[in-house]
Amino acid sequence: MRFKLFCVSLAALAAATGCGDGAGSAEAQASELAVAPDEVSAEALRAAVSDERVKRFYEARAWSPAWTEEQAAALIAALQDAPRHGLSDAAFRKDAAAAATPVEREAALTFAALTYADALADGLADPGEIREIYSVPRPKVDVVAGLASALEAGQLGPWLAGLAPQDAEYKALSEAFLRYSRQAAQEGAQPIPAGETIHPGDSDPRIPAIAASLRANGYLTGQPAGASPDLFTPALAEAVSRLQQESGLKVDGVVGADTLAALNTGADDRARSLAINLERHRWLERKPSATRIDVNTAAAMLDYWHDGAHAHRARVVVGQPGWETPQLGSPIVRLVANPNWTVPKSIAEEEIIPKGAAYMRANNMVWKDGWIVQRPGPESSLGLVKFDMENPHAIYLHDTPAKSLFDQNERHASHGCVRVDDAVAFARMLAGQNGVGAEFDQAMASGEESFVPLPRQIPVRLLYHTAFVDEGGSIAFRADPYGWDEDLARILGLEVRERRGAPTHVSLPGP
């Protein structure tokens, strides 16, 4: 496996933010490593190296040592910035610090530099080794050649810093991680107890604790003037609404069970979520297509970018636990008007055949070549349009007759495909921008299944981000409906928590 288990608590990261792990200056730490290249022979170095990347690095330099005390100091200084990325600098240094001989230390410093470079360039973990399906395009960086060039030019620090994502969202997530980490180090609040739902104008002894939580997380500033401390004022309701908006909850300014759970999510939880999602962000290619569709399956939201500008946002319904929408990159190659739905065998056997022939007739379903096929129509499970994608997993975007699902906050209810709100209008937008608007309208009017190829494929990225920057520029958090945060937490060395119980299986027609 590509990754190693890096054991680090968020408390340690909190202590590290801003100034490394507190073990002293880079120069002092480098001096303690006692770098001694004059005492390292090629023969001894060959015997000490087992990692393939480290081996390639030294083969390119004829097994001559690379680390002077100056270069080691530059590496230690660069590693002190690791907490900004939700990573532990001590975790990268530990092998070098534990090395007993100059040759072991030489090899360990190279391993540390390459491992940190890899972590910044495309993540500490390999998502393809975590999930069976992961095909979102990733960065391609030769860190071995890059390290050699950076050391030769005396630019190790700038080279490492430039490997991390440079976009505004990553920087905002990083700053938020540092802020919540510092807050977590000082946090000692007790959870707000459960109780009756609190509406604006109500009095409740929990109000001071609610106000304190809102204030600590930046949703409330100052102290309401002249109000009873137990009164749920309009100002508090507005702050609760902001919390609800950023947590993907119903925005009503009312404190019910879900909102109380969000209020009880402390800075430590926020920092942990941000560290996990900084890692996911590092998996992404640095310059994605200027025209693309991004679907965040954790938030159940779609964003369409056209020629570099944000052009459309829509609510979507995505896979429920057990039928998770995979993380994949796959282009839309054509629009299908009035699509037939060939029902996958698993859905047919579990949810359709047991309901009998009458159910099939009522839902316009027939047997064809051993498969159940639902004919096109406004009540078809695919709705009136399908966005055909090129992948071997039968995953695509489509319309749906079940429009009421888009009004729900929890929209993980499909069998893995992505149902798009107002899909026909979105398809018409894509068709028009690709010069096939007339063909699409004609196909829709036919009432029969018709295919409209797109002259230019539109890349789609199905992502899973539980912390991200929302349309207003604020950091937003979502629950972890698939439990995938825990898999990544384990690899990052963060505390692994009990997964949320999966909701009851939703039996609704459609992929």
Instruction: Render the burial of 161-197: b for 16+ CB within 10 Å, e for the rest.
Output: eebbbeeeebebbbebbbbbbbbbbeeeeeebeeeee
Tokens of 363: 């839902």
**Amino acid in the structure at residue 36:** A
CB count in 10 Å sphere of residue 282: 25
Asked if 502 and 322 touch (Cβ cutoff 8 Å), the reply is yes
Selection from 131, 27, 137, 38 nearest residue 71 by Cα: 27
Q: How many CA atoms lie within 13 A of 460 on its CB side?
A: 27
Question: Dihedrals φ, ψ of 273, to 5°?
Answer: -60, -40
Tokens of 272: 């942990």
**Max CA separation in the chain (angstroms):** 85
Mean pLDDT (10-residue bins), the chain, 511 residues:
50 50 54 74 94 97 94 94 95 90 94 97 96 96 98 97 97 96 80 92 92 84 73 92 84 90 88 97 97 98 97 97 96 98 90 92 92 92 96 96 92 95 98 98 97 98 97 91 94 83 59 79
Alpha helices in 234-304 (DSSP H): 234-247, 257-263, 267-282
pLDDT at 35: 73
Asked if 488 and 280 touch (Cβ cutoff 8 Å), the reply is yes
Alpha helices in 135-233 (DSSP H): 143-153, 156-163, 168-186, 207-216
Instruction: Give residue for tokens 């609404």.
Output: 241
Asked if 119 and 87 touch (Cβ cutoff 8 Å), the reply is yes
Asked if 113 and 196 touch (Cβ cutoff 8 Å), the reply is no
Between the CA of residue 340 and those of 84, 358, 419, what are the distances in Å? 50, 19, 15
Cα angle for residues 384, 459, 85 (degrees, 5° grid): 125
- How many residues can be counted in the chain? 511
Between the CA of residue 184 and those of 13, 261, 330, 496, what are the distances in Å? 10, 17, 39, 17
d(CA 357, CA 72): 74
Instruction: Render the burial of 201-232: b for 16+ CB within 10 Å, e for the rest.
Output: eeebebbebbbebbebbbbbeeebeeeeeeeb
d(CA 364, CA 175): 54
Tokens of 352: 């359709």
Q: Find how far residue 320's CA is from the centre of its chain.
A: 17
First-residue to last-residue Cα distance in the chain: 33
d(CA 255, CA 196): 9
Asked if 237 and 200 touch (Cβ cutoff 8 Å), the reply is yes
pLDDT at 401: 94
Measure the CA dihedral 243/247/248/250, to 10°: -40
d(CA 377, CA 508): 17
Q: pTM for the full model? A: 0.87
**Amino acid in the structure at residue 137:** P
Tokens of 79: 């590693």
pLDDT at 23: 47
Instruction: Render the burial of 243-266: b for 16+ CB within 10 Å, e for the rest.
Output: bbbbbbbbbebbbeebbbebbbbb
CB count in 10 Å sphere of residue 333: 15
Tokens of 402: 């079940």
- Please tell me the chain's helix, strand, coil percentages from 3-state DSSP, rounded to the nearest 5: 45, 15, 40
pLDDT at 368: 93
Q: What is the pLDDT of residues 113-128, one digit of tens each?
A: 999 999 999 999 999 9
Question: Dihedrals φ, ψ of 294, to 5°?
Answer: -110, 125
Q: How many CA atoms lie within 13 A of 277 on its CB side?
A: 30
Q: What is the pLDDT of residues 73-115, one digit of tens each?
A: 999 999 999 999 999 999 999 998 889 899 999 999 999 999 9
d(CA 197, CA 293): 39
CB count in 10 Å sphere of residue 89: 28
Between the CA of residue 22 and those of 6, 32, 85, 165, what are the distances in Å? 18, 14, 17, 26
The set of residues, in sequence order, having a beta carbon less than 8 Å from that of 160 and lying 6+ positions away, is 78, 113, 116, 117, 120, 150
